[in-house]
Amino acid sequence: MSYRPFLIILIFLICRATFGSEIRIGITSVPLNLNPLYATDANSQNINRITHLSLIDFDEKMRSNCDACENFSETISQSGDHEIRFTLKEGIKFWDGKSVTAKNVIDSYKYFIKPENKSNHARAFQNIKSIKIINDLEFIVIFKKYSIENLNNLTLLKILKINTSGEQVGCGEYKILEKSPLKVVLTPAFGESKPNLSFKVVKDETTLALKIVNKELHLSLGGISPRKYKWLKKNTREYEYLEVPGTNYKYISFNHKNIHLSKHNVRKAISKLIPRRELLKYKLHETAILSNGLFSPSFGKFYINSQKVRYSADEATKLLLEEGYKKVKGKWYLNNKPVRLSWRVSNNKATIEIVNLLKDKLAQFGFEIKVSVQEWGTFMKNVKKGNFDLIMGQWIGFTGPDMMRFIWHSDSVPPKGANRGHYINPDFDRALNLAAGKLNENERNSLYKKAQLIAENDFAYLGMWHPNITWIKNKCVKGVKIFPNGGFLGLRDLKLVCNGND
């Protein structure tokens, strides 16, 4: 009897099992700290989304949605406390097989706020007054006062416990198998037939693109420039290209203390000189959507569909003449002094390229623009001090309307917040303050939209676009869900269905 056919089949099955046991995922930055108490960078927090459960997280429309809970409800008590009642899902277990109870949630909260642990997220829970247990699965989180961010901040509270060896024991579907500076491998926590998830750090986008072409990665989570992304999409048939409007916000910030930029008509004139649609088409290759405000369409209930100003040099000229400016030999003057603006930019190649293009546009119109390229630390030092006239920046990772308070409210001028352009508008402050006290969601959202429209029409910033979340997936990988915040929740149920090196 010949054993050769049997051996061939055995080798095939071994190879299939080997390749099917790991999904290789490309990320472009190192996860700095995977301890959920200290994780602040995006990749660390996102990997924690796979290894740990929170009470709630955000769904595909950036709404608060149950993760470890079955349901929740919000009320305001007679004393003014904000109370959120949770019911845990049945059957959730820690990695050691013990069931997760309401007491474990309280213990996790105490662990996060314990002073000697010095958690980076303790401040997010400072508004919690107490947690009241109803039974093993039900409890009430009581906050000192109402804030829409009370619920959102609970995404940072991971449910875990400490074993006798002092190690953290989570209840997520995966746990860490291997960790090195450029690689993190997760393995199923409960012995399911799920694949390992191997996150490989590839900082250089050209190297990342080559790994995709050579099929060394099953999944790439961003980090590819629009130009290379367009080329890959055209030339790699083995991959699918997943896109969703992202939540990040690219903008140009004005320093409202500048003698020129303090004037509404000047800010509006500059906005009419920025060819956003052309930049979107030729520089970003349609991998973003134009901004109508701080919130992209992915936020749903906070999105405003305002009529954005369009490029028009003639209208910009009219606005400046109305404001008392004069053009002499192709240059704009006010009170016999030329209009000179400084534009600071970090040493990001893509941003520098766009800023230089815009500088040329403004110079052709008659503004004198000096671009100063600085390494990141120096750039941020100047930005925080308000030492700029113009900057191009990006806000990432925000989850709700409290971001408007942080960047535009008059109470948020540094060091209290990030209103680094010193934007002051009492009408904006008033709308935001009123919204913060409304429990009724429709009334609250109406006021948040009003505040956003005020800031938009007043050109607190010049909103540019919201970059799409772009993931590149080998067709052999199934079960991927892509979220507008780029979160890794959609990686919990991946499967590899092809054989060999496909």
Say which residues have a Cβ less than 8 Å from residue 442's Cβ, sequence separation at least 6.
none
For residue 440, name the pLDDT band (cuts at 50, 70, 90): confident
Q: Are residues 412 and 297 in the same domain?
A: yes
Note the pLDDT of residue 104: 97
Note the pLDDT of residue 350: 87
pLDDT in tens, 205-245: 999 999 999 999 999 998 899 999 999 999 998 999 999 99
CATH label of the domain that carries residue 316:
3.10.105.10
Averaged pLDDT, 99-115? 97
Residue with the larger pLDDT of the pair 349 and 176: 176
In a domain, residue 381? The reply is: yes
How far apart are the C-alpha atoms of 413 and 416, rounded to whole Å? 6
Note the pLDDT of residue 399: 86
Q: Are residues 301 and 375 in the same domain?
A: yes
For residue 502, name the pLDDT band (cuts at 50, 70, 90): very low
In a domain, residue 66? The reply is: yes
In a domain, residue 15? The reply is: no
CATH label of the domain that carries residue 83:
3.90.76.10
How far apart are the C-alpha atoms of 466 and 113, rounded to whole Å? 34
Angle at 458 between CA 456 and CA 462, to 5 degrees: 55
In a domain, residue 372? The reply is: yes
Residue with the larger pLDDT of the pair 500 and 416: 416
Per-chain mean pLDDT for the chain: 91
Q: Are residues 260 and 111 in the same domain?
A: no
In a domain, residue 38? The reply is: no
Residue with tokens 């520098």: 352
CATH label of the domain that carries residue 202:
3.40.190.10
In a domain, residue 44? The reply is: no
Averaged pLDDT, 180-192? 92
Q: Are residues 253 and 375 in the same domain?
A: yes
Phi-psi region of 45 (alpha: psi -120 to 50; beta: other; left: phi over 0): alpha
In a domain, residue 446? The reply is: yes
Q: Are residues 282 and 390 in the same domain?
A: yes
Averaged pLDDT, 283-309? 89
For residue 367, name the pLDDT band (cuts at 50, 70, 90): very high
Averaged pLDDT, 46-54? 97
In angstroms, the Cα distances linking 261 to 48, 270, 408 are: 43, 9, 16
Residue with tokens 């293009």: 357
**Is the pLDDT confidence value at 155 over 60?**
yes
pLDDT in tens, 11-38: 333 333 334 489 999 999 999 999 999 9
Q: Are residues 295 and 444 in the same domain?
A: yes
**Is the pLDDT confidence value at 499 over 80?**
no
Note the pLDDT of residue 8: 37
Bridge partners, 54 (sequence order): 158
What percent of the chain is predicted at pLDDT more than 90?
82
In a domain, residue 351? The reply is: yes
Q: Are residues 126 and 269 in the same domain?
A: no
Among 118, 146, 169, residue at a domain's last position: 169
**Is the pLDDT confidence value at 357 over 60?**
yes
Tell me the pTM: 0.85
Question: Whole domain around residue 481: which residue ranges?
Answer: 21-27+173-238+475-496
Q: Are residues 365 and 462 in the same domain?
A: yes
DSSP, collapsed to helix, strand or coil, labels residue 301 as: helix
Q: What is the dihedral of CA 30, 33, 34, 39, to 10 degrees?
A: -110
Domain count, the chain: 3
Q: Are residues 484 and 451 in the same domain?
A: no
pLDDT in tens, 476-488: 999 999 999 999 9
Q: Are residues 294 and 194 in the same domain?
A: no
